[in-house]
Amino acid sequence: MIIIEVKKNKFVNIDNVFRMDILRKDDNNNVYWRFYTNDESFCSSKEFSDEQEAHSWLSMQIARAQGSKEIISL
Query: Rounded to whole angstroms, how far apart are CA atoms 49 and 66?
Result: 26
Q: Half-sphere exposure (CA, 13 Å, Cβ side) for 58?
A: 22
What's the pTM?
0.70
The fraction of the chain above a pLDDT of 90, given in percent, is 8
pLDDT > 60? residue 50: yes
Residue 48 lies in a domain: yes
Residue 71 lies in a domain: no
Is residue 15 very low, low, confident or very high in pLDDT (cuts 50, 70, 90)?
Answer: confident
CB atoms within 10 A of CB 24: 13
Count of domains forming the chain: 1
Query: Rounded to whole angstroms, how far apart are CA atoms 6 and 20?
Result: 12
Residue 46 lies in a domain: yes
Q: Angle 20-21-22 (CA atoms, 0-180°, nearest 5)?
A: 130
Residue 72 lies in a domain: no
> Which residues are bridge partners to 37 per DSSP?
17
Domain region containing 14: 3-65
Residue 73 lies in a domain: no
Residue 70 lies in a domain: no
Residue 74 lies in a domain: no
